Amino acid sequence: MLKLIIRRLLGMIPILLVIITITFFLLRLAPGSPFANEKAFPKEVTEALNKQYGLDKPIHIQYVNYIKELAKGNLGPSTRYVGKTVNEMIWEHLPTSLVLGLTAYIFALIVGLSIGIISSLRQNSKLDYASMAVAMLGISIPSFVLGPMLVIVFSLSLFLLPPARWGDFRHLILPALTLSAVYIAYIARLTRSGMLEVLRADYIRTARAKGLAETVIVLRHALRGGIIPVVSFTGPALTFLLAGTIVVERIFAVPGLGHVFIEAANSRDYSVVMGLTLFVSTVLIVMNLFVDITIGFLDPRISYK
């Protein structure tokens, strides 16, 4: 197991290097400048700013400098936010994204798993069809439709919850609900199909033959195998929830990483885009490793020895 972890972690380095290189050069290919402004700055000011941030040097030198700084763990300064480093910005906005993403995911897990299990146990019943129809709806309605709809109902008609911003628990509800809809749907469908497969397996028949109670069969034996697809899904899902929530963060004015990401891309804040890409890639790789380890525990047939 330890060997596997070390091997996978070492394997990360070339992958990340490729990601960094592609992102670095792609970004510079895009027209524009970090110092573009509706009212252009005087030429000498733009030149001075480029010099300050080392952007006046040839691109390959900039690349080498970036890698050198990166090796020291320094993601560089933001060109948009004067005096801020990318490291600072990630730490500033990560907790918000974590709170929002995890809340949405935990909620999606609870609801999605319940719907999936019930559907699989009552396969082809009206309840099954109804739940799967709701799940289909969840996948089909994008967050930029669901979000404003929830705002109209809960904030602008009933005046129960704030329509946007970040602060206390009340601000969390609508964005988390919006974000979780798609995940509820996915998890419900994954659980249902996983469970259906397992419920037909021989070891479940054996369990039944032993005369075990149905709840024990479902919760202890079937679920363990049935949720493996859900666990595999968790890695990419959590990563996406961390940084891919751009739309929801914008609609609800949530100060998370997604918001920072889109602003940085729009204003050609090179180091911030680079830093966030690198951060998200790392999280994704680590999450996938974590998922593989968890599956090993859940499914006795899988061995990493």
Stretch that binds other proteins, among 58-66, 149-157, 208-216, 236-244 (CB under 8 A): 149-157
What mask of x and - would describe binding to other proteins in positions 63 to 92, judged by CB under 8 A?
Answer: -----------------xxxx-----x--x
> Applying CB under 8 A, does 263 fall inside the site for other proteins?
yes
Measured from the Cβ of residue 132, the count of other Cβ atoms closer than 10 Å reads 17
**125 DSSP 8-state letter:** S
Question: Which residue, 18 or 152, is less far from other proteins as judged by CB?
Answer: 152
Binding other proteins (rule: CB under 8 A), the pick from 37, 124, 215, 303 is 37
Residue among 138, 90, 77 nearest 242 (CA) = 90
3-state SS class at 227? coil
> Applying CB under 8 A, does 165 fall inside the site for other proteins?
yes
Tally of CA atoms within 13 A in the half-sphere of 73 that contains its CB = 1
Binding other proteins (rule: CB under 8 A), the pick from 4, 5, 8, 41 is 41
The CA distance from 303 to 305, in Å, is: 6
CB of 301 to other proteins, least distance (A): 42
Q: What are the beta bridge partners of residue 77? A: 85
Residue among 186, 189, 178, 301 nearest 236 (CA) = 186
Question: Which residue, 34 or 112, is less far from other proteins as judged by CB?
Answer: 34
3-state SS class at 77? strand
Name residue 133's amino acid: A
> Applying CB under 8 A, does 237 fall inside the site for other proteins?
no
Which residue ranges make up the site for other proteins (CB under 8 A)?
Answer: 30-33, 35-46, 48-49, 52, 80-83, 89, 92-93, 142, 144-145, 147-149, 151-152, 155-157, 159, 162-167, 247, 250-253, 255-256, 259-260, 262-263, 266-268
